[in-house]
Amino acid sequence: MIKPIGSDELQPRFVYDVAEHEKLTKEAETLPSVVVSSQAAANAVMLGGGYFNPLKGYMNVADAMGAAEKMTLTDGSFFPVPVLCLLENTDAIGDAKRIALRDPNVEGHPVIAVMDVEAVEEVSDDQMTTMTEKVYRTTDIKHPGVKAFNTQGQIAVSGPIQVLNFSYFQTDFPDTFRTAVEIRNEIAEHGWNKVVAFQTRNPMHLAHEELCHMAMERLGCDGLVIHMLLGKLKEGDIPAPVRDAAIRKMVELYFPPNSAMVTGYGYDMLYAGPREAVLHAYFRQNMGATHFIIGRDHAGVGDYYGDFDAQTIFDEEVPEGAMDIEIFKADHTAWSKKLNKVVMMREVDDHEKDDFVLLSGTKVREMLGNGEAPPKEFSRPEVAKILIDYYQSL
């Protein structure tokens, strides 16, 4: 199986030893504590699950700036985005060297992790601007990722953490949430050697389904991991339980047995386009995938990124040898009326726009809200039924 990034074995920050976990849980209740942002809590979940291997905790400002500016930390290791714990103030923790981090997304704010504080630093306005520009390629506060990043505070608390739980993800999505450790174990149980991963924050229509089939066939993969984001999204995105149900129905009906896993991970969407595509590849290697599908406008939002910026970044900006995972670069896929099948649009040069079945997201939402299924060339009827039920319940 493909090795994780930066180590021979995954080094998850979750405390698996039962006695140690119990001891740490008791200690945490005696420590100075602070409720962190949703983004910082999601970072703890990803650190706990091994997705950010070999990071041991939150970055200091120098490492965060290195990650933002050139995807390289001060020790020379590779990481594509800053992983920070930003606070508005340190009133609750003072100058404590060991603190408890509390979850903003769970009632009662239970402790999600314990941190050994190595540094408390103020992030300057210029540093925040630089990180924002480098990661998001914009400083427009209307960009949902830019807004989330810049409204947490500007005091960075850094140091290694020990993670005690996986926030609401394990309880709310018990059949879907998986750590990188668990996915590696399941891949081994399936006996898969070549595994392609597919990222989604949306339900999968026919074109997405066929793209996965294409990638598996062309790469000679024996396994597919559909890996959906379960964390915070922007307003208007379809909730995770609905996506989960739609995707599971598709896999059940249209993929052979023992060929596809439906899983999810606990992270808040950055909508950072190209840079988030690199991050997605990073934690797909850590979870055991050998290949990763990146299509048009991967992890994008609005008109902030070019259609294929998320592919070209791997050739132009990612340091050589930083990752072993291979990228499957896909074009927009759609149903060809001429060929009566889903195709990659760039591969059929004898087609005009009208030769494809193309529907905007707005049009699809309108149809579903009216109880009308999109054409079978766009969406499986069984998937459309689940989405119609959701939209009509609003």
In this structure, what is the dihedral angle of CA atoms 336, 339, 345, 349, given to the nearest 10 degrees? -130
CA distances from 102 to 25, 35, 167, 207 (A): 12, 4, 10, 41
Q: Do 200 and 333 belong to one domain?
A: yes
**Do 209 and 60 have their domain in common?**
no
Q: Closest Cα partner for 317 from 138, 144, 135, 140?
A: 135
Displacement of CA 106 from its chain's centroid (Å): 20
Domain boundary among 147, 167, 187: 167
Write out the residue range of the structural domain in which residue 48 sits: 18-167
Whether 156 and 23 map to the same domain: the answer is: yes
Q: Does residue 201 have an active-site annotation?
A: yes
pLDDT of residue 160: 98
Say if residues 132 and 79 touch (Cβ distance below 8 Å).
Answer: no
- How does 87-124 read in b/e, with b if 16+ C-beta sit within 10 Å? beebeebeebeebbbbbebeeebebbbbbebeebeebe
Residues 14/45, Cβ–Cβ less than 8 Å: no
Last residue of a domain, one of 144, 167, 190: 167
Q: What is the pLDDT of residues 342-365, one digit of tens each?
A: 999 999 989 999 999 998 878 888
Residue 218 has a CB neighbour count (10 Å cut-off) of 11
Tell me, yes or no, whether 256 and 375 share the same domain: yes
Is the predicted pLDDT of residue 288 greater than 80, yes or no?
A: yes
- Distance between alpha carbon 300 and the CA centroid of its chain, in Å? 12
User: Does residue 132 surpass a pLDDT of 90?
Assistant: yes
**What local confidence, expressed as pLDDT, does residue 238 receive?**
85
Task: Answer whether residue 4 is part of any domain.
Answer: no
| Residue 305 belongs to a domain | yes
Verify that 230 and 350 share a domain, yes or no: yes
pLDDT in tens, 197-248: 999 988 899 999 999 999 999 999 999 999 999 987 777 778 888 999 999 9
The burial class, CB within 10 Å (0-12 / 13-18 / 19+), for 55 is buried
Q: Are the C-beta atoms of residues 155 and 86 closer than 8 Å to each other?
A: yes
Average pLDDT of the chain, as a whole number: 95
Is residue 1 assigned to a domain?
no
Active-site residue, 248 included = no
Count how many domains the chain has.
Answer: 2
Which residue in the list 60, 178, 185, 201 is annotated as catalytic?
201
Residues 355 and 388 in one domain: yes
Report how far residue 58's alpha carbon sits from residue 41's, in angstroms, rounded to the nearest whole number: 11
**Structure-block tokens of residue 1:** 């199986």
Inter-residue contact 62 to 119 (CB < 8 Å): no
Shared domain check, 345 and 201:
yes
Active-site entry in 202, 275, 284, 370: 202
Q: Answer yes or no: is 9 within a domain.
A: no
388 within domain boundaries: yes
Domain CATH number, residue 64? 3.10.400.10
